[in-house]
């Protein structure tokens, strides 16, 4: 299973907002969810996307989206604004769940299942590493990971780099999905 964990410093934890950008940059959550879970005309069944929302009014909130059971979605921003508003107001959507799990608790639990990789420009070059299909990737939002959060994740994982240029979080996910897809194909 590929899993992506986005740490969102300010992502709103309720549904009282009018657009994703002003909701503590939930637009980044949307972009990362689409980059994680979608192929052209298909959902990646083997991917789970987590957004750890730490914005007002009641952080933390763990938004989990599972490709295996995700339904009734498209990739456009309006669809996702509606879905996120619905879920954050307590209504269900197939494949999406909310819990009060903290980032620290999630990382600790996941570290028992698969290697954890913390995305950061200064980390070890991804091309020098053997990254397997069962991996957990941790990313920061537009500001990056808070130092304390990064330090906690590094108790369980290691830093990896996609190069020296700072990419959008969603671009990093697209690149990782691509690299893992290519490795999977070359093994067949
Ligand atoms: C838009 S970047 C944040 C940039 C922010 N200025 C910083 O210093 O972290 C969002 C996240 O994408 C990941 N990221 C961006 N570029 C990367 C790269 N070249 N290699 C690895 N991870 C990267 C990091 O996890 C980062 O926290």
**pTM (2 decimals)?**
0.96
Shortest CA distance to 5 belongs to which of 133, 145, 155? 145
Average pLDDT over residues 18-46: 98
Nearest-CA residue for ligand 1 atom 9 is 144
- Count how many Cα atoms sit within 13 Å of the Cα of residue 34 in the half-sphere of its side chain: 20
In angstroms, what is the span from residue 124 Cα to ligand 1's centroid?
Answer: 14
Residue pair 135/2 in contact by the 8 Å Cβ criterion: yes
Per-residue pLDDT reduced to its tens digit, 113-142 = 999 999 999 999 999 999 999 999 999 999
Residue pair 136/115 in contact by the 8 Å Cβ criterion: yes
Rounded CA Rg of the chain: 16
DSSP bridge partners of 50? 5, 64
- Confidence band, pLDDT 50/70/90 cuts, at residue 183: confident
Say whether pLDDT at 146 is over 70. yes
| pLDDT reported for residue 185 | 59
For ligand 1, mutation pick of 172, 174, 176 (most atoms within 8 Å of CB): 172
Atom of ligand 1 nearest to the CA of 162: 20
Q: Which CATH superfamily is domain 2-187 in?
A: SPOUT methyltransferase, trefoil knot domain (3.40.1280.10)
Average pLDDT over residues 97-105: 98
> Measured on CA atoms in the order 21, 23, 24, 26, is the torsion positive or negative?
negative
Distance CA 138, CA 119 (A): 6
User: Which residues approach ligand 1 with their CB closer than 6 A?
Assistant: 119-121, 139-140, 142-145, 161-163, 165-169, 172
Average pLDDT over residues 24-31: 98
| CA geometry: angle 78, 67, 77, nearest 5 deg | 10
In angstroms, what is the span from residue 101 Cα to ligand 1's centroid?
Answer: 24
Average pLDDT over residues 4-10: 98
Q: Return the domain boundaries, the chain.
A: 2-187
Atom of ligand 1 nearest to the CA of 169: 12
């Amino acid at each position: 299973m590929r899993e992506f964990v986005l740490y969102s410093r300010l992502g709103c934890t309720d549904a009282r907002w009018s657009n994703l950008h002003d909701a503590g940059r939930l637009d980044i959550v949307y972009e990362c969810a689409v980059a994680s879970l979608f192929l052209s005309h298909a959902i990646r069944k083997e991917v789970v996307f987590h957004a750890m929302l730490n914005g007002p009014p009641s952080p933390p909130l763990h938004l989990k989206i599972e490709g295996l059971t995700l339904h009734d979605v498209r990739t456009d921003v309006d669809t996702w604004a509606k879905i996120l508003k619905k879920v954050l107001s307590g209504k269900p959507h197939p494949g999406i769940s909310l819990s009060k799990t903290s980032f620290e608790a999630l990382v600790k639990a996941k570290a028992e299942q698969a290697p954890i990789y913390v995305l950061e420009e200064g980390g070890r070059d991804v091309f020098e590493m053997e990254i397997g299909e069962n991996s957990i990737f941790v990313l920061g939002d537009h500001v990056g990971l808070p130092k304390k959060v990064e330090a906690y994740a590094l108790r369980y994982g290691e830093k990896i780099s996609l190069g020296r240029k700072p990419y959008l979080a969603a671009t990093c996910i697209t690149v990782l999905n691509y690299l893992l897809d290519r490795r999977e194909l070359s093994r067949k």
